[in-house]
Structure 1
Amino acid sequence: MLQQKGLMEVSLKKDKIPSKDQYPFNIPALRNFSSMKFHPKVTYLSGENGMGKSTLIEAIAVACGFNPEGGSRNFTFATHNSHSVLHQYLTVARGAVKPQDGYFLRSESFFNVATNIHELDKEGGGGKIIDAYGGVPLHEQSHGESFWALFTHRFGGNGLYILDEPEAALSPSRQMAMLARMHDLVEQQSQFIIATHSPIVMAYPHAIIYELTENGIKKTRYAETENYKVSHQFINNYENLLKILMGEE
């Protein structure tokens, strides 16, 4: 029988929560949160700003042993202790087969990861960490190029990759290329959990999509997500929408 691998589910220790009126438990989508199951290939968290996507995916990553600011499980640096306590109240269910690789990409703090890599490589003592990212220092690349170096060089097969808004530094064409790269890695038994606003990034077929709203968290289909509907409406009717937005109608 084929054994389940990767991350299967996270659940909230409701009996341990100090107060539902206390952050982060008072975030709209988390008020009634109990558990979340993950697709063995790709799972998305979608929703408006302020609904708790980044807070939840950060907590999932930290509960899985990753640095709150990002990187692999070997990264232990800290520049600013801003993560919530949510991870302390999560129970993680893993498959019997453990991934051989893993990474947490937090777009807003990837600069700090790049700085830590540079500092560790300056200290010497063996091979350079940057070689795993293609060999070019990340600070010598644009934000988008450094993200792309991560996807193309650092990510390998049989990995758990947790990504928070990876589209932040990627052009639309690179976002499409990211889907192709994801598929290559999924075919090599990797698993992705992604928080995103991008209807391109969110388009991986047969994925589980959770939408976080004021009313909680629900599973939804790709074309029913707010991000897809708004983008589709704008692209297909942008002239009229611009007139409305600029008060010309």
Structure 2
Amino acid sequence: MVYLRTIRLMREQFPQTNRYPFTLPSIRQLEEIEITSSVTYFVGENGSGKSTLLEAVAYQCGFHTAGGSRNHFYEVDRSEASLGDFVRLSWMPKQTNGFFLRAESFYQFASHVDELERERSTGFSAYGGRSLHEQSHGESFLSLFTNRFTGKGIYLLDEPEAALSPMRQLAFLYVMKDLVDEGAQFLIATHSPILMGFPEAKILNFDASPMEEIRYEDTEHYQLTRRFLENRDRYWVD
């Protein structure tokens, strides 16, 4: 299912500044992204703008920009989402159910869940019956995916592979497949060639200027990983 159909940057309203992210080539030359797949990946080097744009989308969705859904309110240093006011989203139909995952601030989100549990005593029913802090990093991520995510929602994930071993990344792909079959849509910023191997996904390359769609086999992530695995000794030659 594709709920979010287009992401449009209001470049004519950009502030006159040399500050990040408004100087990024991928942002300065981007006008509109048309979303045509239930799974869309943002890929590129660190600092290319992929996470910044995903955060802006989360801001426009009304999700907590440090991680969470529309119903999560907790005190933490929220990301500024400096691009958020300059993004417009087009939906068909509008989808308000969903979640924004930030790997770098997941600890704060887990602490927020613990605080809610102390207030409501739900038995962590939405998180596998245990505090996320009482699970390993990878277990807590998968617990969130399998218990908190449901079909008919939009899920924005910023580098979810940060806590997942290769085996757990494969497990997550199966979770994604089930959720997509139930009507979920995913936008994922990632460096993982495993995660971006989801069938028929759309991959957007933020290293290109302007940003462009790229085949899985043409991504630097795939090519570099394959070259290294096939002949790792060559990378240690003086």
**With structure 2 as the length reference, what TM-score do the two structures score?**
0.95
- The answer to whether 1:229 aligns with 2:226 is no
Q: Tell me the equivalent position of 2:81.
A: 84
- Please give the root-mean-square deviation of Cα atoms over the aligned residues, in Å: 1.6
CA distance, structure 2, for counterparts of residue 16 and residue 240 of structure 1 = 49
1: CA distance, partners of 2:147 / 2:79: 29
Does structure 2 retain, via aligned residues, the 8 Å contact 1:16–1:89? yes
Quote the residue 1:59 is aligned against.
Answer: 56
- The one-letter amino acid paired with 2:25 is P
Per-residue CA distance 1:161-191 (angstroms, 9 max, x = gap): 1100000000001101111110111000110
Task: Find 1:171's aligned residue among 150, 165, 168.
Answer: 165
| Aligned residue number for residue 139 of structure 2 | 145
8 Å CA contact 1:100–1:158 kept in 2: the answer is no
Secondary structure at 2:206 match in 1 = strand
- State which of 176, 187, 196 in structure 1 corresponds to 2:181: 187
Unaligned runs of 5+ in 1: none
Quick check: 1:121 aligned with 2:107? no
1:1-249 equivalence runs, <5 A:
5-19=2-16, 21-96=18-93, 98-99=94-95, 101-124=97-120, 128=122, 130-213=124-207, 215-241=209-235, 243-244=236-237, 247=238
Say which SS state the counterpart of residue 63 (structure 1) adopts.
helix
- Figure out how many residues of one structure are paired with residues of the other and give that number: 238
Distance 1:214 1:99 in 2: 30
Task: Give the SS at the match of 2:124.
Answer: helix
Normalization by structure 1: what TM-score? Answer: 0.91
Aligned equivalents of 1:44 and 1:122: distance in 2?
36
For residue 228 of structure 2, give the secondary structure of its aligned residue in structure 1: helix
Distance 2:213 2:40 in 1: 10
Counterpart Cα distance in 1 of 2:160 and 2:9: 26
1:20: how far off? 5.8
1:66-107 per-position Cα deviation (integer Å, ceiling 9, x unaligned): 1001111101223113323201001110112x4463011111
For 1:212 and 1:222, the matched residues in 2 are separated by: 14
Check the 8 A contact 1:5/1:99 in 2, yes or no: no
Query: 2 CA distance for matches of 1:14 and 1:46?
Result: 22
Counterpart amino acid of residue 7 in structure 1: L
Percent of matched pairs sharing the same residue: 44
The 2-side partners of 1:115 and 1:31 are apart by: 37
**Which letter does structure 2 place at the counterpart of 1:63?**
Q
SS at match of 2:167: helix
Specify the SS of the correspondent of 1:108: helix
